[in-house]
Amino acid sequence: SGGTFVPAVVVGTGYGAAVSALRLGEAGVPTLMLEMGRLWNQPGPDGKVFSGMLTPDKRSSWFKTRTEAPLGSFLWLDLANRDIEPYAGVLDRVNFDQMSVYVGRGVGGGSLVNGGMAVTPRRSYFEEVLPQVDAAEMYGTYFPRANSTLRVNNIDPGWFERTEWYQFARVSREQAAKAGLGTTFVPNVYDWDYMRREADGTVPRSALDAEVIYGNNHGKVSLDKSYLAAALGTGKVTIETLHQVRTIRRQQDGTYLLTVEQKDAEGTLLATKEISCRHLFLGAGSLGSTELLLRARETGTLPDLSSEIGGGWGPNGNIMTARANHMWNPTGTKQSSIPALGIDDWDNPDAPVFAEIAPMPAGLETWVSLYLAITKNPQRGTFVYDAAKDRADLRWTREQNAPAVAAAKALFDRVNKANTTIYRYDLFGKQLKAFADDFCYHPLGGCVLGKATDNYGRVSGYENLYVTDGSLIPGSIGVNPFVTITALAERNVERVIKEDVKK
């Protein structure tokens, strides 16, 4: 068999990957993590590791010539985007025909760019989505384990009520209440105590300096500070960065042989390596893990993979929308970039919605109330392998998002009616558009648990091959997904280490 041999390889360094590596390391298994993005720990010329949201440079984006911010316009003017040099930046927008998917690139995956909202799903909906998973075990053991290892914490409600930084959220809460809608505080991995000190002016600002989608320079406990730091601390785990896994082949002795491209941060190919392992854990995310398996199935390197690979994909019902407030209802020139409240209407049988009250930290008064609505959309997409481009293509149409838009509209029509307000049409591109239905932050599915894998993420058709990330979840989970991805990975890896690795 070829290549350098390591007992276990983990592809990616996001949530599923980080959980797997930590637990393998604790079990004494030498484990190599391969991450296509950079390690984000060196300050750039401005003294900061990450570039800011309002002044993005090449560090912001994964090999683009212009940034592609989700809120691309304001009064239809493209104010937020900048021309940049192609670089291994931290946020990628993967553009398929009718859906764009934002993902994090770097050691920590999505944890580097996300809003840190750490939400445990409602148990009844978890049971509906993953009925074959023992919910008592999840809610008794694995969700608590995920929440504590991720260092999830809660905002001090007293501070929330008085700080100018959450005026935007209080305004939205009041307007929701007028429509009879309740809100709930959303836990986070951003250190709320640090944020208070930012407000007091005693520490460098991050959430209070509009940092989030291109990385937080302070305050956020991303995976490199939680799971991955612990994994490295076992002494058994190593991480290779700017290493992208391209192909996976099973060898005669049952080990897996990977071809891996090592590049520099400008994208120049430095080496193509062969690495082999006995146990292979795919944590490259919904897009990444699904693409690796589709390529392997379609090019014949893993011909026995199930036809279920590629199926069951969904954007977690993500729809962004914004309302225009009256002049007497400003949302504030100071807005924390970390959301703290959600409108919870998930029990509405007609159109369940959980809507994050999102900031729009533009540094000037916008009178905008922005929301990321998570809706329950039964539509699913499918990844197919495009041989000519050697990549996974997503079969998903805009019309498939119509149920999600309808649910978000039903809720915000109520809010608008109760407050005599209207939608904003200028924020999501050049055309008149009140609902952003063409991008998502929460890609889920592609290698669904119990379909493309067994009930613990073991890939059907092959031994010692596992999927550990968001691709296991069938398209929807009703809340922001990373706590569920983490807890499910904890459950699965515990079983796999006991039954497969330590046997």
CB-wise, 339 or 419, nearer to ligand FDA? 339
- The rounded Cα 339 to chain-centroid distance in angstroms is 15
What's the closest the beta carbon of residue 233 comes to ligand FDA, in angstroms? Answer: 20
Which residues contact ligand FDA by CB under 6 A?
A: 11-17, 34-37, 102-106, 109-110, 113-117, 213, 244-245, 283-286, 288, 292, 441-442, 469-470, 480-482, 485
HSE-CB at 256 with a 13 A cutoff on CA atoms is 28
Cα 213 from Cα 62, distance rounded (Å) = 12
| Cβ proximity to ligand FDA, 175 vs 222, nearer residue | 222
For helices 482-496 and 143-150, what crossing angle results, to 10°?
A: 110
**Residue (11 or 452) nearer to ligand FDA, CB:** 11
Q: Judged by CB, which is closer to ligand FDA: 332, or 457?
A: 457
Geometric angle at alpha carbon 187, from 24 and 195, rounded to 5°? 100
**279 catalytically annotated:** no
- Specify the amino acid at residue 45: P
What number of CA atoms fall less than 13 Å from residue 357's CA on the CB side? Answer: 29
For residues 290 and 271, give the distance between their C-alpha atoms in angstroms, rounded to a whole number. 24
Q: How far is the CB of 385 from ligand FDA (least distance, A)?
A: 14
| Closest distance of CB 356 from ligand FDA, Å | 8
Q: Which is nearer to ligand FDA, 367 or 491 (CB)?
A: 491
Q: How far is CA 44 from the centre of its chain?
A: 25
Q: Record the tokens describing residue 159, joined without a space.
A: 């501070």
- The 3 state secondary structure assigned to 433-466 is CCEECCEECCCEEECCCCCCECCCCEECCCCCEE
- 243 contacts 220 by C-beta, under 8 angstroms: no
**What are the structure tokens assigned to 496, written together?**
């796999």
Going by the DSSP 8-state scheme, the letter that residue 361 receives in this structure is -
- Whether 62 and 244 have beta carbons less than 8 Å apart is answered as no
Active site residue 356: yes
CB of 308 to ligand FDA, least distance (A): 18
In the set 218, 243, 279, 442, the catalytic residue is: 442
DSSP state of 66: B
Largest CA distance in the chain: 72
Helices (H) and strands (E) in the chain, counts: 11, 21
End-to-end CA distance of the chain: 23
Q: Closer to ligand FDA at the Cβ: 224 or 426? A: 224
Q: Which is nearer to ligand FDA, 17 or 368 (CB)?
A: 17
Q: How far is the CB of 285 from ligand FDA (least distance, A)?
A: 3
Least distance between ligand FDA and beta carbon 402 (Å) = 23
- CA-CA distance, 147 to 139, in Å (whole number)? 11
Residues 6+ apart with CB under 8 A from 225: none
Cβ proximity to ligand FDA: between 37 and 314 the closer is 37
Phi, psi of 367 (to 5 degrees): 55, 20
> Which residues touch 206 (CB under 8 Å, ≥6 apart)?
198, 216, 217, 218, 219, 220
What is the closest distance, in whole angstroms, from the C-beta atom of residue 487 to ligand FDA in the complex?
11
Q: Decide: 32 and 260 in contact? Cβ < 8 Å.
A: no
Q: Of 211, 298, 356, 490, which is the active-site residue?
A: 356
Residue 159 Cβ, how far from ligand FDA at the closest point, in Å?
20
Rounded distance between C-alpha atoms, residue 61 and residue 86, angstroms: 8
Residue type, 138: M
Describe the strand order of the beta sheet including 100-104 as a list of residue ranges: 91-95, 100-104, 439-440
- C-beta of 117 vs 434, nearer to ligand FDA: 117
Which residues are known catalytic residues? 356, 442
